[in-house]
Amino acid sequence: MFTDTHAHLDFQDFDADREEVIRRSQKEGINSIINVGSSLKGCFAAVDLASRYENIYASVGIHPHCAGEIDHNGFKQLKNLLLAPPLRAGAGRVKKVVAIGEVGLDCYRNLSPLALQKELFRKFVDLSLSENLPLIIHSRQAEEETLGILKAKAHKLKGVLHCFSGSRDFLRSCLDLGLYISFTCNITYKKSDNLRELVKLIPEDRLLLESDCPYLSPEGMRGKRNEPLNVKFLAGFLAGLRGCSIEDIAKSTTENTGRLFGISMSPADGWVSSDK
Ligand SMILES: [Zn+2]
C-alpha cells in the first residue's frame, strides 16, 4: 500500500483519461491520493474529485504563483469549501478536505510579488491553525522567509514541507518545527546528489511520498506526464538510499499519512466511485 500525498489530478493534463489514471494507480497499490488545490478553480475541482472517489482526498489552498489571483471574496469561497466538505461514506465518516495547501513562498520563479505571497501565506497558516488542518507547504528559494513565517506560529504548527529541495540547515529547521518532509521523483535526477544525501537524515516517522503529478516524472521519463502510480517507483528508490525494504517505506509513509492527515485506510476499503 502506498499513498500519494500530493497530486494535481484536476489539471487539464488529465482531462482525456483521468478515470483511467486513477484506476491504474489503484492497480499498482496506491491506496490513497491527496489532490492538492493550487488555484481557486483548482480547489473546487479537488473537492469535487474527493467527493466522487472514496480514496481521493482534497487539500485547499493557493499556490504562491497565483497569490495575485485571490481577493477577499475568493478567500471567503475557500473557507466555505472547508465548512461543508464531502465526507467519506461508511461508518467512520471522514472529512475529505484534509489539509490547507499548497501554500507558501516561491522566490525562484517570482510569478507574484513577494509581499503578496507572504501576506497570503500568513493568512493560510492562521487558517490551518483555526481549522486544525495540516499545511502543505511549497518553499522554493525562500528558506529564510518561509521559516520566518512558520516560526512565529511554531508552538502549534503541523504540516509537510512538500517536494523538499532545500539545504541541510533548512531541513534541520523544518524537522525542529515538527514538520513532515515529502520527496518527489526529482530525487532520481542526475543533479540531485544533495537530496539523495538529505533523505537519509529524515526520521522514519516524518517521511512522506508524493508524485506532484503531472510534474516531475522519474529520471528516464522526464518530459512525460507523471502519474500517482510512480510513487511506488519512488518508494523503491528511497528504500535503496535508506537501506531498508520497499515494504518498510510503504508501511511508514502510509502510517505517517494517516497520522498527519487523519486518513485511515485499509486495503479492503476499495476504490468506490459514486459516479456522480
Ligand atoms: Zn504541487
Q: 185-194, pLDDT tens digit by residue?
A: 999 999 999 9
Which three cell numbers mark 219? 529520471
- Considering the domain boundaries, does residue 252 fall inside one? yes
How far is the centre of ligand 1, averaged over its atoms, from the C-alpha of 158 (Å)? 18
Give the integer Cα–Cα distance in Å for 37 and 46: 6
- Asked if pLDDT for residue 272 goes beyond 50, the answer is no
Q: Which CATH number is 21's domain given?
A: 3.20.20.140
Whether the model clears a pTM of 0.85, i.e. scores above it, the answer is yes
The alpha carbon of 165 and the centre of ligand 1 are apart by a number of angstroms equal to 13
**Residues 245, 237: Cα–Cα separation, whole Å:** 10
Range of the domain at 136: 2-263
Whole-number Å distance between alpha carbons of 174 and 169: 9
Å from CA of 136 to ligand 1 middle: 9
Residue 273 counted as domain residue: no
Average pLDDT over the chain, rounded to whole?
A: 92
Task: Measure 91 CA to ligand 1 centroid, in angstroms.
Answer: 31
Condensed to tens digits (0 to 9), the pLDDT of residues 38-72 reads 999 999 999 999 999 989 999 999 999 999 889 99
Decide if 276 is inside a domain: no
CB within 8 Å of 123: residues ≥ 6 apart: 75
Residues 6+ apart with CB under 8 A from 27: 229
Q: Distance between CA 54 and CA 268 in Å, rounded? A: 12
Q: Are 170 and 202 in contact (CB under 8 A)?
A: no
Whether residue 101 is contained in a domain is answered as yes
Question: CA 221 to CA 214: how far, in whole Å?
Answer: 12
The CA 38 to ligand 1 mean position distance, Å, reads 7
Q: How far is the CA of 16 from the centre of ligand 1 (A)?
A: 20
Percent above pLDDT 90 for the chain: 82
- What is the Å distance from ligand 1's center to 162 Cα? 8
Q: What's the pLDDT tens digit per position in 139-163?
A: 999 999 999 999 999 888 999 999 9
**Gap from CA of 214 to ligand 1 centroid (Å):** 9
What is the tens place of the pLDDT at every residue in 72-83? Answer: 999 999 999 987
Residue 275 maps to a domain:
no
Q: Say if 271 falls within a structural domain.
A: no
Give the number of domains in the chain.
1
For ion ligand 1, residues whose CB falls within 5 Å: 212
